[in-house]
Amino acid sequence: MKELLDSLTPEKQLQFLSAKDKDGKAAVQCAPANERKDMGKMLKHYKREADFEVNYGKLALFSL
């Protein structure tokens, strides 16, 4: 999962992490129970970082 996310742009990471399956579950909710805690931490970290880069990184460019 980490390799896949690393290969995506921040915009695509957000799309991927926000996508839901037909039952309305996001990737973190679909992780196997024994991996859910670690997987959830990793996915939340990526989503937070991607959100920052997409939303706040662009603001920094405009303020230059």
pTM beyond 0.85: no
Nearest-angstrom CA–CA distance, 31 and 19: 14
Among candidate residues 60, 58, 49, 63, the one with its CA nearest the CA of residue 10:
49
Residue 58's pLDDT is what? 59
Q: By residue range, what is the domain housing residue 57?
A: 2-62
Compute CA distances 38 → 24, 45, 53, whole Å.
21, 11, 23
Domain count, the chain: 1
What are the tens digits of pLDDT across the range 30-64? 777 777 678 778 888 888 888 888 777 655 555 44
53 contact partners, CB below 8 Å, separation of at least 6 = 10
3-state secondary structure (DSSP) of residue 41: helix
Residue 62's pLDDT is what? 53
